Structure 1
């Protein structure tokens, strides 16, 4: 494992709080589309972190629905919370607030710029990576730690 990778993974552990069995998952979560990391283990990253982000999006929705139904909330209120929470602006703000933005491995052609969409995708990817590594409760705990819920 490279020093850059080790440093980033150690730094973001404080953000998500999960001890990964498979640290390749969280490393993948930090890769923007077009990052110089084209492969992690046997997985090719043709789209960067978008695969694990898709998982994270679904997990965030599931956690919010599960919490809302458990609290006897109206379905409209749950749907509105999901819509607000999963907006790029909300997730990008969370990315900045928890200090995740500086650990994203970006596309070199972007000159270091990190868009709100990439920040949002990365937050989703981190939650997706935690879920893929350890399941629902671990993902929910990381969401709480990151201030998503």
Structure 2
């Protein structure tokens, strides 16, 4: 089981990867911890990072929809971008391409394996963590750009 300090190191790496520095690193830590993991010093949530992932999913869709509106894209084009960019398949690919799978703290029953679903949830959780830390969709946009999630494919 990793320690609180090793999780802090993982958040530092995530910050460098995402190009965002958390004002409250504990929020970033929460994004990297899957359900069923308890670490001393970290507030425990029954669903691990799933609550942040739910926020991240909504913020990702909002940011992509706003970008489509601001660019004057049709609803159909924006909808297609949402279906492609916000899909779990794409989010898992993005997370692995960025090396985020190396930062996830998985439930011991997963034997260190980061499934595609967990990877997609982690990407969403990191997006949600940035939003919760900043309370700003505008702060999330550069993170989405760093992830390649900011516009048409």
Q: Distance in 1 between matches of 2:40 and 2:27?
A: 14
Q: Which stretches in structure 2 are left out of the alignment for 5+ residues?
A: none
Out of 6, 14, 17, the residue aligned to residue 16 of structure 2 is 14
Out of 2, 10, 18, the residue aligned to residue 4 of structure 2 is 2
Q: Distance in 2 between matches of 1:31 and 1:45?
A: 9
Q: Distance in 2 between matches of 1:28 and 1:39?
A: 11
| Pairing 1:25-64 to 2, within 5 Å after superposition | 25-37=27-39, 40-41=42-43, 44-64=44-64
Shift in Å at residue 52 of structure 1?
0.6
Task: Please tell me whether the aligned partners of residues 63 and 140 of structure 1 are also in contact (alpha carbons under 8 angstroms).
Answer: yes
Q: Distance in 1 between matches of 2:40 and 2:54?
A: 19
Q: Distance in 1 between matches of 2:12 and 2:132?
A: 19
Question: What TM-score, normalized to structure 1?
Answer: 0.92
Shift in Å at residue 119 of structure 1?
0.3
1:117 corresponds to: 117
Q: Distance in 1 between matches of 2:92 and 2:144?
A: 14
Cα deviation digits, residues 60-104 of structure 1 (max 9, x gap): 001111110111111011111111112111000000111111000
Residue 127 (str. 1) matches residue 127 (str. 2): yes
CA RMSD of superposed structures (Å): 1.6
Report the number of matched residues: 147
CA 1:38–1:88 in structure 2 vs 1: closer, same or farther (change >3 Å)? farther
| Pairing 1:130-145 to 2, within 5 Å after superposition | 130-134=130-134, 135-145=136-146
CA 1:19–1:145 in structure 2 vs 1: closer, same or farther (change >3 Å)? same
Task: Please tell me whether the aligned partners of residues 20 and 133 of structure 1 are also in contact (alpha carbons under 8 angstroms).
Answer: yes
Q: Distance in 1 between matches of 2:35 and 2:72?
A: 39
